[in-house]
Amino acid sequence: MKKLAVQLIFGFIVLPLSLAGSLYYLNQRGFFNVANIEVVLEGHKPGQEQFLRPHIEKLEVALGKYKGLSLWSIKLSAISREVSSLNWVDGLNIKRSWPATLSVRVQPHEVKLLYMSKQGKLVPIIQDGRFLDPVETREAPDVAILEGEVFSKKTALRKKAVDVIEQIPAEGSFSKKTISEIRYDSKEGFWMTMIKTGIQVKMGEDQMALKAARVSQVVEYLDSRQFDARVIDANLSKKVLVRLRKDP
């Protein structure tokens, strides 16, 4: 019985105190001071790298103030609030990686579209239609540009434009990759400009996936016949109207 009591005292009192003392000693000697800050992107889509790179660099600089501080004393909740306040951040996970690394894993918002402001600034637009901070041309992701001042004032319309582009396929003769600009007319709905040919495509406001499939077929037919189209009107119930450049 006496032996058991000694074992219990050692296991529940002496050993924890020794461990705590060792950790305190190491902490006082700087063993747990942050030497590395690891910022990792998670879940970002291809084609967004040039947009995200400067944001990550700025974040690494901002987090640099935690270098040299003990991992024990750093409040992860404060860092979480700081990083979450960045409008390009959608989600994050912060943890201590012992003995001396602070790990910040960031899930960024995907830029769905860009808006060209009157001042010539490129403003990223995310899923819910919100604007992010303007970017330089070299930092802009490869997405279509919204043209028209109407988009600057109406978040709901920007969100609608995002919903529209999301229904367009990623690949094909008429796809996200082939669209350079998107405009909106209150009477005729959405218009899209194709990158290589400059063809104006009238899409309206509904059944975008179906219309995109029809436009793809028409574009392939025009290419095979080497017809030079000016306008493709897909905003019809069951057909697509094509106006060639020589047409009035």
User: Considering the chain, what is the average pLDDT of its residues?
Assistant: 87
Q: For residue range 174-232, list pLDDT tens digits in order.
A: 999 999 999 999 999 999 999 999 999 999 999 999 999 999 999 999 999 999 999 99
* Same domain, yes or no: 145 and 208: yes
How does strand 36-41 pair with strand 179-185? Answer: unpaired
* Same domain, yes or no: 49 and 126: no
Q: How many domains does the chain have?
A: 2
Residue 111 has pLDDT above 90, yes or no: yes
Structural domain boundaries, residue 81: 36-108
CA distance 7 to 1: 10
DSSP state, residue 110:
P
* Same domain, yes or no: 42 and 87: yes
Average pLDDT over residues 9-13: 45
Question: Is 151 within the bounds of a domain?
Answer: yes
Inter-CA distances, 140 with 9, 16, 116, 128, Å:
64, 54, 11, 19
Could you tell me which of 147, 135, 85, 77 has the C-alpha nearest to residue 111? Answer: 135
* Same domain, yes or no: 179 and 232: yes
Question: Is 24 within the bounds of a domain?
Answer: no
Could you tell me which residues come within 8 angstroms of residue 111 by beta carbon, excluding any fewer than 6 positions away? 48, 51, 124, 125, 126, 132, 141, 143
Residue 171 has pLDDT above 70, yes or no: yes
Which comes out higher in pLDDT, residue 239 or 57? 57
Question: Is 27 within the bounds of a domain?
Answer: no
Residue 94 has pLDDT above 90, yes or no: yes
**Which one of 49, 78, 108 terminates a domain?**
108
> In the structure encoding, which two tokens stand for residue 30, read together?
């700087």
* Same domain, yes or no: 103 and 210: no
* Same domain, yes or no: 90 and 142: no
Give the CATH number for residue 236.
3.40.50.10960
Question: Is 21 within the bounds of a domain?
Answer: no
Give the CATH number for residue 54.
3.10.20
* Same domain, yes or no: 143 and 240: yes
